[in-house]
Amino acid sequence: MTQMQPILEAEPSGAPSAGATAIPQDCERLVAALIELSPYRTVLRPLLSDIARIGRANRQISAALTIVELRADFAHTGRLRRADLGPERTALLGFLEYIRFASPDFLRSVGEWPVGGMRDRG
């Protein structure tokens, strides 16, 4: 009896292959480098571990991080430039912007932390 070999389909251009979709071991380092490219870096730095965890759990952000890691050869260089973000720039920087404006620090600054803070004083 012969064993059948799986058929491997070609990945669409620019998409990571099935073996490359895992976030690199140094995801937190990559996210830290990404945060440094954000205008909100001062506020986001203390949230690094949470941002990395959320990024790994989100399919779109996880895939974008993987593509950028490969494009920048981040595992070898440890460097991330704005040009390395490519078309994933919008998703990744939008993700950081969303976290900034959903952060307890920002919500507190506009009187909404704890959630509903000012509205409940009515």
DSSP string, 73-112: THHHH----GGGGGGGHHHHHHHHHHHHHHSHHHHHHTT-
Q: How far apart are CA 107 and CA 103, in angstroms?
A: 6
H/E stretch holding 62 reads: helix 59-72
* Helix (H/G/I), strand (E/B), else coil: 8: coil
* Helix (H/G/I), strand (E/B), else coil: 115: coil
* Mean predicted confidence (pLDDT) in 53-79: 96
Enter the tokens of residue 53: 């965890």
Give the CA diameter of the chain.
77
**pLDDT tens-digit map of 78-105:** 999 999 999 999 999 999 999 999 988 8
Q: What pLDDT score does 12 carry? A: 44
* Mean predicted confidence (pLDDT) in 48-67: 97
